[in-house]
Amino acid sequence: MEDKDFVQGKKYVVKLKDKSVMEGVFVSETSIHVFLKLKSGYNAGFEKKNITEYKEVVDRKISRDKKVTKKYDSKKLHKILILHTGGTIASKVDYSTGAVTPRFSPEDLVGMYPELMDLASVESKLVSNIPSDDMNFHHYNMLGKSIVEALKDKKIKGIILTHGTDTLHYTSAALSFALECVPIPIVLVGSQRSSDRPSSDAALNLLSAAYFITNTKSSGVYICMHENMNDEKCVLLKGVNAKKMHSTRRDAFKSINTKPFATIDFNNKKIDYKDEASSTHGNFSFKPFNEKIRVGIIRSRPGLAPEELKPYEKFDGLVLEGTGLGHFPIGFIDKSTEHNKEILSFIKDFADKKVLCMTTQTIRGRVNLSVYSPGRALKEAGVLGHDLDIITETAYVKLAWLLSNYSRNEAKKLYHANLRGEISKRSEVEEYEL
């Protein structure tokens, strides 16, 4: 078998020299190998020279269209829209170089996961195809607009956003704020291994998100990724308190300072709600980001120099990621710490004109600016964030969104209000793993 006769997204039965028979959806090929996605969800590669026979299996469930992939049985199935933004979930390995490059089109994704068609009629649309690290407020607005557009179609039960994992939680927070009272579930899905790798987590993440959408009464913005290292269940996290906690593990995303929203056992078709199922009441509104707003994040550390703060003078807002309860080196103790005065005076000046918020680099826990004298000095200087447990990423997004849509004084007030579940009432420390 030498010619490229396989068509992406179609299902084949392949007979091999050793008499084994494999059935799966064609994913890709090189001059030497053919890769199929098997029913188990795993991909398998075969040497072309070992293939003795192959035949296409006509499967009613897979339909193709050049631009949009659809299958309607609207009486029976809900409709899901997949908005595709890029990242590893949309990448495949170039087996000649080993590099991971974004090359899957939305049609490929749906073609690769035919099980999606059992759950819903699926439409997919390419919004962008970029690594999530390159995203900015412009992309959040683009996504928001696409969602607003999609909401006009009342048949859509929910939206899946395929997204790179690196900044997935920034986007989920951004959409949580920008789309107030969104009436359907919006689920962001990424993967830590590209979709054509045998170890890819993409299939379970996508199918679990689709299962959740078609079986829930909840609305709002969520993230759906692996619950643990087993390829068994996924966890659904609220969009405003999730953090990427590991650079490679499939269960990289964890809920911070609060419970995960639910777990999804796709194989046994079960959703286990850990938190109250939320459905949004109130009028839906889309308040986009001002793409010109500039908010910075400054991380404190021993040896922080005042010169490092200067470049932020012209910014509209700053998140200070302090140590412990929310501290910065602002004390003047002896000659060696003299320059810390300048750090405090920068903070005072900035807080007078703009907005400064404190978060903590401890990851879990609450900021408390009342315990130690440096904390009290920061609070007196006008630093916000006392008694809040907003994670830094969400604080950054929230501040930028508030400054985009409200006056400085309103933004300062609203920063302390629990707008989308980003602040937990009281820390029940024992409940959470460290």
Site residues for ligand ASP per CB under 6 A: 87-88, 131-133, 164-166, 190, 192
* Selected catalytic residue, list 238, 244, 254, 379: 244
Please provide the DSSP assignment of 58-119 as one string.
P-TT----SS------TTT-EEEEEEE--SGGGEEE-TTT--EEE---HHHHHHH-TTHHHH
Residue 136 CB, shortest distance to ligand ASP, in Å, is 13
Q: Which is nearer to ligand ASP, 132 or 176 (CB)?
A: 132
Q: Which is nearer to ligand ASP, 200 or 258 (CB)?
A: 200
Q: Which is nearer to ligand ASP, 130 or 293 (CB)?
A: 130
Rounded Cα distance between 378 and 358, Å, is 9
Q: Which is nearer to ligand ASP, 193 or 379 (CB)?
A: 193
Rounded Cα distance between 274 and 255, Å, is 12
Residue 165 CB, shortest distance to ligand ASP, in Å, is 3
Rounded Cα distance between 131 and 120, Å, is 28
Residue 135 CB, shortest distance to ligand ASP, in Å, is 8
Q: Is 425 in the active site?
A: no
Residue nearest to ligand ASP (CB): 164
Q: Is 166 in the active site?
A: yes
Which of 394, 410, 412, 401 minimizes the C-alpha distance to 180? 401
* Selected catalytic residue, list 71, 85, 162, 166: 166
Residue 166 CB, shortest distance to ligand ASP, in Å, is 3
Q: Which is nearer to ligand ASP, 157 or 250 (CB)?
A: 250
| Total Cβ atoms within 10 A of residue 83 | 23
Q: In this structure, what token pair is assigned to residue 36?
A: 């199929």
Answer for the pair 224, 234: CB distance below 8 angstroms, yes or no. Answer: yes
Rounded Cα distance between 206 and 80, Å, is 11
* Selected catalytic residue, list 69, 85, 88, 392: 88
Dmax (CA) of the chain: 81
| Total Cβ atoms within 10 A of residue 421 | 16
Q: Is 362 in the active site?
A: no
Q: Which is nearer to ligand ASP, 157 or 254 (CB)?
A: 254
Rounded Cα distance between 248 and 229, Å, is 11
Q: Is 244 in the active site?
A: yes
Residue 285 CB, shortest distance to ligand ASP, in Å, is 29
Answer for the pair 75, 178: CB distance below 8 angstroms, yes or no. Answer: no
Please provide the DSSP assignment of 367-396 as one string.
--TTSSHHHHHHHHTT-B-TT----HHHHH
Residue 171 CB, shortest distance to ligand ASP, in Å, is 10
Q: Which residues are catalytic?
A: 88, 165-166, 244
